[in-house]
Every structure is written in C-alpha cells, then in structure tokens.
Amino acid sequence: MTFTTRPELRGTFGAVASTHWLASAAGMAVLERGGNAFDAACAAGFVLQVVEPHLNGPGGDLPAVFWSAERGEALVLCAQGVTPQAATIEHLRELGHDLVPGTGLLAACVPGAFDGWLTLLEQFGTWPLADVLAFAIGYAEDGYPVVPGITATIERVEPLLREWPGSAELYLPAPRPGSTFRNPALAATWRRVLAEPDPRRAFYEGFVAEEIDRFAREQGGLLTGDDLAGWRATLEPPATVDYRGLTVCKTGAWGQGPAGLQQLRLLEGFDVASLSEAELVHVTTECAKLAFADRDACYGDADVPLETLLSREYADERRLAAELADDPGARLAARDACADDLARAGAAVLARSREAAAHDALAWARAARRRAVARVRHARRRPAGAMGAARARPPRRPRAQPAGGDRRARVAHRPPDLVLLPARRRAAVACRGVAAR
C-alpha cells in the first residue's frame, strides 16, 4: 500500500464524502438509520449550507449528476435558478452596466438549491423533509466550530458585508477559527417553512418569496416574487461521451460540464498510455484549453449545438491545433488578419478577430464576459470555428480588485501569436482521423 497522509476508508455498508466533516457525519447517520443515498445527500447538502456559509447557502443553486437504481438510468438535476425577467440587456445598459455586476442585487437569480433538494427527496428519497432538515437546524441553533476559511473569507469581504445590515450583524466581527458560531435566523426560517402545509410553496410563493421581493424592490434589485413562483427544478438526460469503454455523464450546456466531455473527445486521438509525464501534462492542458475556448464561445442558456461540439468529426478538427508543434510548415499569422478567414489560395489561415476572440488561449481574461453573456442571452454570441494553436506566453498577473467588487481582470494584454496550419497538413490530419474511425 502506498503512503498517504489521509487514511484509506473501506467498508461494506456505505460511505459519504463532502467538503465538511459534519455534513459527512450527517449523511452517514441517515444511512445508518435506514435512509437511502438521496436522503443522505439531502441531509448533507442542507448541513453544508449552515457550516460552510462562505461556500454556499440557501440562496445558491444545485446541479447534480446521479444514477437512479430504481429507474436504471443516469439523470441530471438542473436546479440552477434563472435570472429575473427584468434583467434584460437593455435594462442593464440603462442602469449603466456593460456586464452583469459580480455582486449585489443585480447579480441575484432565483435561489435553486431548496427546490433541487426537495425534488431529489420527493422523487428518489424515503425520508420526510423535517427529518432531513433536522441536522442543519440543529447546527444552526446550537452552533458549529468555525473553520479558518470562514474567518479568512469574512475578513476579505468585510467592506461588502458592511453594506448589508443583516449580514454585518450576523458575521461581523469575523468569528475566530475554532469558536462556536450560530445562525438562529436561518434555523427559525427552516422551522417556519416546515410548519407550512407545503414547504415548497412557502419558500417560492409564500413568506420567503415575499421577503425577497420586498427587499429587492427597496434596494433596487430586479428579482421578484413572480420570478420565484414561475421557476422549478427539472430532471433531464445527461450529456454523454463514450470514452475507452466508459460512458461519462455531465450536465447540459447551461453548466460547464460538457467542456469535460469535449476534452475526452480530444484525448481520444492520442495514445495517452504511451505519453511521458511531461507529455501527458502538455496534451491534457492543450485539450483543456481548446474545450474551454468552445465553452466561452458557445455555452449558455441558448441553443447550443452539443451534438456537433461532442462529435468525433469536430474533435478531429479542433485537434489540429495540437498537431502543429511537429509541423515544420506551420507559420505565424498576421496579427491584423480577419476573423476565422479561410484563404482560398492554398493555405488554411486561421486568424484572430478583435471582436470575436473567442479562441484566445487566455480564456481566464474573459471569464466575467462569459458569465454575463450566458446569463443575459447575448445576441452576439458566435459559434466556435477551427482554432490556431497559441504560442504559450507567461500570463500577466491581474490587477488586484476590491473585495466583492467587479472581478474582471481589467488587464490589457497582447494576444498570443497564432500558429497556422498549411492546407495539405490540415487535410492529411483530418483524413487520418476519419480513417482511424
């Protein structure tokens, strides 16, 4: 057995894993008392909302990929709340925003986690909601030990918390690591929800929705009670890719899950087992960059051509960029070339456009724009085409931003040069990929 700093846990009854030991313990307690995996997951999820407030909470969302033994199929839970009906591009621009703000009420969407957990519990669980919520209510009322991450996060965003009286009263001054922290208001909210005949309606149409509507209107937000009442979590088939005998399942393109599937499609063209450690890191990194570029350009709450993006034919085309390193005929593109222009005179010119730089290797610099585009259904989203391979340059360090502020990099950077593939090489690689299939 190889050495590890963490014990290897084995058993024959069941196991629960989460990011906090109290949540894992709650889930295991549910299993030991006769609950099934979905009961345990719901109990652990609600506990995490209490003991890790710096990572998630009742206002969050819940994407989940799971297997139902009863139905004999893999399913995806989409409990990612939508943006308010009033959050249109025109309205946000009228308010003086080019992007959806990173914090504040204009960034708020419908809280999806509660309906997500209820959906799992109702359709696949066996326990009543009151029993599942008992663990979370207990920690909220009686307290739990503060982990260092909570203290560090609160101290980092203290200026933002001070803008909200309720948050400041609860979290400031920042509790010390190891101290006992309580959230009685959250415990009281859960108890009141449980006292209602229909907990879901109490949350999305009753007193919770009414309070959210009132607060948002008073503070200039866009989220309304109608937004909450008109949304429900859904179950859907997963996006899948067969990779070396395994079927890998991810969410749809409303999340970034398919980017992992695109990476697997790209890796199919390499003999991964024969690669050295350095080659493996290089190949997987380049495949990830290609997939993330498509994610930035195509994914969102619109019609996304997943069938094309996950096809072997498209992966063969995208993999051309990874073939360029060994191609002596590759050349550099002119930096002022037009977007994705395919030259008719012999060479396939894959060039950059100033307005359509969706295939920039520095995708992190456009992460904020990607989120804004996906949320507000940007009409100018362009599909990804073929991509030139970018010569690696050391990334420039983003300028520090105030805590809780707009997290765009705001760094002017020189785009990397594009290495272009001659037409004959491009055709040869594409034909080889077709023949291999």
- pTM for the predicted model, two decimal places: 0.73
Q: What average pLDDT is seen over the chain?
A: 80
Cβ atoms of 110 and 81 within 8 Å: the answer is yes
Kindly tell me if the per-residue pLDDT of 426 is higher than 60: no
Same domain? For 314 and 215 the reply is no
Q: Is 329 found in the same domain as 428?
A: yes
CA 257 to chain centroid: 8
State the Cα–Cα distance between residues 186 and 17, nearest whole angstrom: 24
Cis peptide leading into 173, omega within 30 of 0?
yes
Please report whether residue 224 resides in a domain. yes
**Is residue 422's pLDDT more than 80?**
no
Sign of the alpha-carbon torsion through 220, 222, 223, 226: positive
Report how far apart, in Å, the C-alpha atoms of 371 and of each of 202, 254, 346, 378 are: 30, 11, 38, 10
E strands, 82-145, are 144-145
Q: Which residues, listed in sequence order, are joined to residue 52 by a DSSP beta bridge?
A: none
What band does 431 get if pLDDT is binned at 50, 70 and 90?
very low
Same-domain check for residues 232 and 266: no
Could you tell me if 299 and 214 lie in one domain?
A: no
Pick from 425, 410, 402: nearest CA to 369: 410
pLDDT of residue 276: 93
pLDDT tens digits, 155-180: 999 999 999 999 999 999 999 999 99
Claim to verify: residue 231 and residue 328 sit in the same structural domain:
no
List all residues 6 or more positions away from 16 whose beta carbon is below 8 Å from its beta carbon: 24, 25, 27, 28, 31, 40, 44
User: Does the structure show a pLDDT above 80 at 236?
Assistant: yes
Mean pLDDT value of segment 194-222:
96
Q: Which of 220, 236, 252 delimits the end of a domain?
A: 236
Does one domain contain both 377 and 296?
A: yes
Best-predicted range by mean pLDDT among 28-42, 87-101, 300-314? 28-42
Question: Would 92 be classed as within a structural domain?
Answer: yes
Cα separation of 373 and 165, whole Å?
31
Region label for 117, one of left (φ > 0), alpha (ψ between -120 and 50) or beta (otherwise): alpha
With H, G, I as helix, E, B as strand and everything else as coil, classify residue 247.
strand
Q: Do 75 and 113 lie in a common domain?
A: yes
Residue 58: inside a domain: yes
Number of domains in the chain: 2
CB 108 within 8 A of CB 216: yes
Residues 421 and 386 in one domain: yes
Residue 404 has pLDDT above 90, yes or no: no
Q: How many helices (H) and strands (E) does the chain have?
A: 19, 10
Q: Report whether 77 contacts 66 (CB < 8 A).
A: yes
Q: Are residues 36 and 118 in the same domain?
A: yes
Give me 228's structure tokens.
């909450």
Lowest mean pLDDT among 131-135, 246-250, 328-332: 328-332
Output the pLDDT for position 383. 38
Residue 125 phi/psi, 5-degree rounding, is: -90, 180
Instruction: Kindly report which listed range (305-314, 355-364, 399-408) carries the lowest average pLDDT score.
Output: 355-364
Name the band, by pLDDT with cuts 50, 70 and 90, for residue 102.
Answer: confident
Domain shared by 327 and 209, yes or no: no
Q: Which amino acid is at 12?
A: T
Q: Answer for the pair 88, 120: CB distance below 8 angstroms, yes or no.
A: no
Domain final residue, candidates 196, 220, 236: 236
- pLDDT tens readout for residues 303-322: 899 999 999 999 988 887 54
Residue at 223 is within a domain: yes
Quick one: tokens of 5? 């700093």
Let me know if residue 170 belongs to a domain: no
Question: Does residue 129 belong to any structural domain of this protein?
Answer: yes
- For the cut 70, the answer to whether the pLDDT of residue 410 exceeds it is no
- Look up the domain containing 343 and give its range: 262-436
Q: Is 90 exposed, middle or buried (0-12, 13-18, 19+ CB in 10 A)?
A: exposed
- Together in a domain, 223 and 109: yes
Residues 227, 273, single domain; the answer is no
Residue with tokens 């009442």: 229
Beta bridge partners of 79: 62
Model confidence band, residue 419 (pLDDT cutoffs 50, 70, 90): very low
